[in-house]
Amino acid sequence: MRAAYLVQTHCTPDQVLRLLATLRRGSPEAVLVVAHDPSAEPLDERELDALGAIHFRPARPGRRGYWSLFEPYPEAVERLDRSGLDYDWLVYLSGQDYPVRPLAGSEALLAASPYDGYLTWIDAAGPSSEGRRRQGRLRYEYQYRDVAWGAPALAALHALNGVQPWFHVHRTYGPRLGVRARRTPFGPGLRPYWGSQWTSLRRACAERVAEAARGGEPLARYFARTVCPDEAFAQTVLVNDPRFRLANDNLRYLDVRGSRNGRPRVLTMADAPALAAGGYCFARKLDPAVDPGLLDWLDERLAAG
């Protein structure tokens, strides 16, 4: 079994290169793919080449809540196809992820798995994991565009969010104005699902997502005007496809308790017992500026096997 690791990054070069070096040490035959945000500080291409990484900078910066944050995924799958490199699983990571256990164990799990993919999902028509009843509908049943109105006008429209169903002002990622779609692509054969952006998928699943994400596809065009399509596109494509057997678990440790926007908190050494006790392959998010000791502890854990 050969794994490919897609690392989508925007954080500091030192942290990204540390993650990539750890992946290379843990899996010498793995394929490494790096999609580094064009607005971020550049990575050292000589170090990337020394690690044997396929690397590119997406055409535009990834904005949280926008389709641009998902664009590197289908581009990476297409680059892998053009490279001719063979792989069995594509593991999708952020630059602030880190292995929790030796990659040999994680890859053995994938090699023996009865599943075609590990990802998280819930029905977008139901309440969110935080209990917010309308969040999925507001994200994926409306078509949004950016607005540049003054604060008073925006506040006045925002006040109408809860009293009518025809439009919605979204200020967390934007500001954006959404108009309820007269016709959505959803129906009896296609339910919308959403979950975490970060997944581990067999090659056939990854290629199916990339195929559906091509710019001319109606589903991609629709999702490109929703809020947080990166958290719903792969789920909607794959969960509705009867060919694939999926586990509702992305094998990551993160903590979003108390978050109102889905952002996980930065982990510290206080999380080490949970990381050691769980059946996780990766954890996020880590920041050496907040707690460098946790990264050092994980390196010792990985070296001990």
What would the pLDDT profile of 74-104 be if each residue is shown by its tens digit? 999 999 999 999 999 999 999 999 999 999 9
Instruction: Based on the fold, state whether residues 94 and 175 are members of the same structural domain.
Output: no
Please indicate, yes or no, if residue 75 is contained in any of the structural domains. Answer: yes
Q: Check residue 126 and give its pLDDT.
A: 81
Residues 171-194: what's their mean pLDDT? 93
Q: Check residue 259 and give its pLDDT.
A: 56
Q: Which residue has the higher pLDDT, 154 or 110?
A: 110
Instruction: Based on the fold, state whether residues 195 and 174 are members of the same structural domain.
Output: no
Instruction: Based on the fold, state whether residues 161 and 247 are members of the same structural domain.
Output: no
Instruction: Based on the fold, state whether residues 98 and 233 are members of the same structural domain.
Output: yes
Instruction: Based on the fold, state whether residues 18 and 151 are members of the same structural domain.
Output: no
Look-up of token digits 């290169």: 17
Q: Amino acid letter at 136?
A: G
Where in the sequence is the domain holding 159, given as residue range(s)?
A: 142-180
Please indicate, yes or no, if residue 63 is contained in any of the structural domains. Answer: yes
Residues 208-225: what's their mean pLDDT? 94
Instruction: Based on the fold, state whether residues 47 and 81 are members of the same structural domain.
Output: yes
pTM of the model: 0.94
What does the pLDDT look like over 5-40, one tens digit per residue? 999 999 899 999 999 999 999 999 999 999 999 999
How many domains does the chain divide into?
Answer: 2
* pLDDT at residue 302 greater than cutoff 80: yes
Average the pLDDT over each of 108-112, 149-153, 180-184, 242-246 and give the range with the smallest value: 149-153
Instruction: Based on the fold, state whether residues 108 and 194 are members of the same structural domain.
Output: yes
How much of the chain exceeds pLDDT 90, in percent? Answer: 82
Residues 110-130: what's their mean pLDDT? 90
- Residue 36's alpha-carbon distances to 9, 221, 285, in angstroms, are 5, 24, 17
Please indicate, yes or no, if residue 136 is contained in any of the structural domains. Answer: no
Instruction: Based on the fold, state whether residues 78 and 194 are members of the same structural domain.
Output: yes
Instruction: Based on the fold, state whether residues 284 and 222 are members of the same structural domain.
Output: yes
Q: Check residue 66 and give its pLDDT.
A: 97
Q: Check residue 131 and give its pLDDT.
A: 58
* pLDDT at residue 114 greater than cutoff 90: yes
Write down the mean pLDDT value for the chain: 93
Number of residues in the chain: 305
* pLDDT at residue 225 greater than cutoff 90: yes
Instruction: Based on the fold, state whether residues 104 and 156 are members of the same structural domain.
Output: no
Longest CA–CA span in the chain (Å) reads 59
Instruction: Based on the fold, state whether residues 115 and 44 are members of the same structural domain.
Output: yes
Among 176, 232, 24, 190, residue whose Cα is nearest residue 167: 176
* pLDDT at residue 181 greater than cutoff 80: yes
Q: How would you classify residue 228: left for phi > 0, otherwise alpha for psi between -120 and 50, otherwise beta?
A: left
* pLDDT at residue 151 greater than cutoff 90: no
Among 221, 29, 44, residue whose Cα is nearest residue 9: 44
